[in-house]
Amino acid sequence: MGFDRAPQVQVRRCTAQDAAVLAQVCAETFQDTFAADNTAKDMEVFLAESYSPQVLAAELADPESSYWLATVDGIPAAYLKTNVGKAQTEPVEGRIPQPSLEVQRIYVRLPYKRRGLGARLMGVALDEARAHAAASIWLGVWERNTAALAFYERLGFTRFGEHVFQVGSDAQTDYLMVCPVERLAMV
């Protein structure tokens, strides 16, 4: 009689040596999530500007930014990027409780969606926020990404503004959302 074993999930902080695999996962998850809503040219420009191994290597070298990679049975499945201090992509002082931590990116590869990896990575973000004595966690999410909006609302995030998120030549609207660290409801 055989027993099915539970998949082995590990989450670890990325290093400079992860730039190439991270570039692949970043590009794949962004394309899977947004390609249907953007032109091929806009996607090509965005991916080149945001997810090349060189760009990611520079971000990995920033002490105020962290990338985290989740693997399932050793296969890259999801990732998270957090920023503190000057690495945050938008000035939020005076708009949300400070100090703050930004969740700049959190994506799960299609075969691994609906397995709790997003919540697990948000738990990592919460640990990072506590380690940096952050009062709040904030993020931007595309106004048309209803699944992500619902996920963040379930965790306790609320809207506090919006900003333009540029994908190639297309200026898109992201909602800015925040949750006080002590209120983040991990599901």
Helix intervals (H) in 132-179: 146-155
Answer yes or no: is 73 within a domain: yes
80 CB-near residues (< 8 Å, 6+ apart): 67, 68, 70, 103, 105, 106, 121, 122, 124, 125
Query: Mind listing the pLDDT tens digit of every residue in the chain (187 residues)?
Result: 556 777 899 999 999 999 999 999 999 999 999 999 999 999 999 999 999 999 999 999 999 999 999 999 999 999 999 999 999 999 999 999 999 999 999 999 999 999 999 999 999 999 999 999 999 999 999 999 999 999 999 999 999 999 999 999 999 999 999 999 999 876 4
What pLDDT does residue 187 have? 47
Answer yes or no: is 63 within a domain: yes
Answer yes or no: is 16 within a domain: yes
What pLDDT does residue 6 have? 77
Split into its structural domains, the chain has a count of 1
Three-state DSSP at 87 gives helix
Q: Evaluate whether 13 touches 71 at the Cβ level (below 8 Å).
A: no
Answer yes or no: is 86 within a domain: yes
Answer yes or no: is 2 within a domain: no
Residue 120, domain extent = 9-180
CB 51: neighbour CB atoms within 10 A?
21
What pLDDT does residue 186 have? 66
What pLDDT does residue 3 have? 62
- β-partners of residue 83 are 65, 102
Assign residue 115 the CATH number of its domain: 3.40.630.30
